[in-house]
Amino acid sequence: MKWNYGIILCCSFMLHIAVYGQQKKVKFYASADTKQIMLGSYFTASFTLENATGTNFKPPLFSNFNRLSGQNTSTSASAINGEWTRSITYSYILQPKKIGKFTIGSAKIKVGGKTFASKPLTIEVIKPKNSSASTQEDLTEELGDKVFIRAEINTLEAFIGQQLVLDYKLYTSVGLDNYNILNESAYDGFFAKAIRRYPSQVIKEVVNGKQYNTKIIRRVALFPQQAGTFDIEPAQISVSLGTGRRFFFGNSFNAHELATNALSIEVKSLKNTPPDFSGGIGKYTTNAAIDKRQLSTDDALTLHLAISGTGDIKRIQAPALGLPDTFEVYEPRIIEDKSYEQDGVIIGKKTFEYLVLPKAAGKYILKPTFTYFDTDSMKFVGLKPNAFNIFVRQGNKGDQTHLNPSLDNNGDQIRGIKASTALVRNHRSLFGTTTFWSLLCFPFLLLGGVFIYKRIEEKRNGIDQVLLKQQRANKIAQKHLSEAHQHLKEQNPRSFYNGISRALLGYVCDKLKIPLSELTKNNVKEKLQSLNVSHQHINKFMQTIQTCEMALFAGKDNAEAMNETYQNALSSLSDIENEIGKG
C-alpha cells in the first residue's frame, strides 16, 4: 500500500511539472562550450528545449566537423524562486576538420504541431601554438600563463542605481585540484550583493593563441550609490595544481596564490531627466491591473502597478497616473518590494497600490506610464503596460452649493443705495506732505543701496569659497540632520536615510576639501587620520555611512534602528568636529 501511495505521489509530481511547463513560454536554443577552438581539440554543441515535450528532432549538418559522440540526450527539472523549469538537451561532441570560421546551422523540433528552430552557432578554429605537454617538473616552476584569474565586468562606465555584473573568472591550461577565494575588494561606493545562480560550467576559450578551460568562480552584483570614480581592488585566490588531464580537477600537487586585475569604474548621475522619470536605470517591465471598470462617484477604484527590472529597485518612486482633476488620487502605498535572481542577475520588483476616487460621471481612459532610463539604448523609455476604459456613473451623493453668508436676506448687512451723488473738490496740496518728501528722497536712497550692495559683493568675492564652505560645514550638516529628524518623526525611512547620508557626505566634502566626484571611503579615512582624528571616531563615522547605504538598498524601516542611526550621526559629527577643532 505504501508503494502505491509513493507511485501516485511521484506521478502527480511529474504531471504537475509537465502541466506547469506547458503554461510557461517554450524555448528552443543552441549553445556551445566555446566560441574559439584550436585545430585538433574538441567541443560540445547542445540543443535545448525548455517547458515542452518535443518530437521529430532534426540536428543540423556538421559538415566541417567530425562527430566524435552523439546524439546524447539528457533531461532535467529544476525550481528557481518557486517556478519549475523542465528541459531536454540533445548534445554532440565535435572536432573541427580545418582552420577557419564556420557556422553550425539550425536544429529543428516539433511542439504541438508547431516547428521551432534554434539560432545558428559560429565557431572559429585557429592554428595551435607549438608547445609540449606539461610535466610535473613544469608545475613546480612559475605559473606564467598556465593559470590566471581575471576580474571581468560588463561595463566600466555606469550611472547611479545601475546594476553592474562582476565576474571572477579562472583560466587554466593545467589540472587544478582546488581553488579558494582568500579576499576580495570592499567595493567602496557600491552596494554589493553576491549572485548564487550563474553559468558555472567549464568553457573553452582561446587567449593569445592558447586554449584554456575557464570557469566563473564568483559573481557579484554592484549597485553604484554615488557619482565619482571608484576602484575595485584586486582579489586574491589560492589554487592547488594537479598533474592529471587538462581540466579543472586533477591530482593535488601544490598551492599558489593568484591576484586579479584592478578595475576603475566611472559612475555618473543622470542629466536632464524628464518630469515623469521615476528613478529606474537599467531594463524594466511593468504590469497593471484594476479591480473594476464600472463604478459610481460614490465608489473608489484600486489600481496595482508592478515594476520589475535590473536596476536598484529601492530608487523607484511611484509614477504619477496623469489623471484629470475629475479624479482624486490618494498617496500610493508599496505592497510588494523584493529582489530575486534570474538569468544570472538580480531582478528587483516593486508593486504600488493606488486608490482613485472619481468626482464626476463620464467615460475615461486610464493609462499608467512608467518612465525609466534604458542603459542599452541610452534613452529614456516610457512603458504603458495597459490602458483601461472606465465608465463612471453619478452616485447618490450630489454636490452641495454653499452660499456666502454675506449675501443672505439679513437687511442689516446690505447698505442702502444713495438716490443722488455730488462731486466735491479736494483743496489739499501734495507739496510738503510726507508722500512728497518720500518720493523726492527715493532715488537717492536707491542709489545708496546699490552702492552698499556692490561693496558687500566685492568683499564676498574676495573670500575663498572653499574656506567658506569649510567654516560652514558643521552648520550645514546640522541643518540636514534636522531635516532627517523630521523624516524620522514622520516615519519616512528613505527620506531619513537620504538626509543622514547627505549630512555626513556633505560634511566631509566641505570640511576635508574633497570634491564629491573624488569622494571614497579610503580618502576620507586618510584625511581624517591626517587631522589626528581617533580610529574609534573614524570607524563609527564610516559605519554610519555604510548603514545608510545598506538601508537605502535593503529598505530598512525599523524605527529603533533609524533612531540609533540618527544618534550615531549626531555624536560622530560632534566628536570629529571637536577633535578637528583641537588640532
Q: What is the pLDDT of residues 160-192, one digit of tens each?
A: 999 999 999 999 888 777 788 888 888 999 999
Distance CA 307, CA 335 (A): 12
Buried b (16+ CB within 10 A) or exposed e, 140-150: eeeeeebbbbe
Give the ranges where 462-492 is alpha helix by DSSP (H).
Answer: 465-489
Distance CA 432, CA 429 (A): 8
Distance CA 391, CA 293 (A): 6
pLDDT value at residue 430: 59
pLDDT of 138 higher than 50? no
Buried b (16+ CB within 10 A) or exposed e, 70-88: beeeeeeeeeeeeebbbbb
Assign 410 a pLDDT band (cuts: 50, 70, 90): very low
Assign 137 a pLDDT band (cuts: 50, 70, 90): very low
pLDDT of 7 higher than 50? no
Higher-confidence residue: 348 or 93?
A: 348
Q: Using one digit for the tens of pLDDT, what is the confidence trace for 474-494?
A: 778 888 888 888 888 888 887
Assign 98 a pLDDT band (cuts: 50, 70, 90): confident
Region for residue 270 given its phi and psi (left: phi exceeds 0; alpha: psi -120 to 50; beta: otherwise): beta
* E strand intervals along 377-536: 379-383, 388-393
Lowest-pLDDT choice from 212-216, 336-340, 570-574: 570-574
Distance CA 320, CA 329 (A): 9
Give the ranges where 92-229 is alpha helix by DSSP (H).
Answer: 136-139
Region for residue 404 given its phi and psi (left: phi exceeds 0; alpha: psi -120 to 50; beta: otherwise): beta
pLDDT value at residue 60: 92
Q: Is the peptide bond before 71 cis (omega within 30 degrees of 0)?
A: yes
The SS3 assignment for 346 reads strand
Q: How many CB atoms lie within 10 A of CB 52?
A: 22
Cell triple for residue 562? 533609524
DSSP string, 62-80: -TTEEEEEEEEEEEEEEEE
Buried b (16+ CB within 10 A) or exposed e, 560-569: eebeebbebb
pLDDT of 397 higher than 70? no
Q: Using one digit for the tens of pLDDT, what is the confidence trace for 255-301?
A: 788 889 999 999 999 989 999 999 999 999 999 999 999 999 888 99
pTM of the model: 0.53
Higher-confidence residue: 520 or 215?
A: 215
pLDDT value at residue 416: 45
pLDDT value at residue 93: 85
pLDDT value at residue 96: 87
Distance CA 540, CA 373 (A): 36
Per the CB < 8 A criterion, the answer to whether 387 and 415 are in contact is no
Lowest-pLDDT choice from 16-25, 223-232, 239-248, 331-340: 16-25
pLDDT value at residue 555: 56
Most confident range (mean pLDDT) of 194-208, 299-313, 498-512 is: 299-313
pLDDT value at residue 11: 46
Distance CA 283, CA 269 (A): 17
Q: Using one digit for the tens of pLDDT, what is the confidence trace for 411-435?
A: 444 444 444 455 545 555 555 677 7
Burial class (CB in 10 A: 0-12, 13-18, 19+), 101: exposed
Assign 461 a pLDDT band (cuts: 50, 70, 90): low
Q: For the chain, what percent of residues have pLDDT higher than 70?
A: 77
Cell triple for residue 53? 515535450
pLDDT of 84 higher than 80? no
pLDDT of 15 higher than 50? no
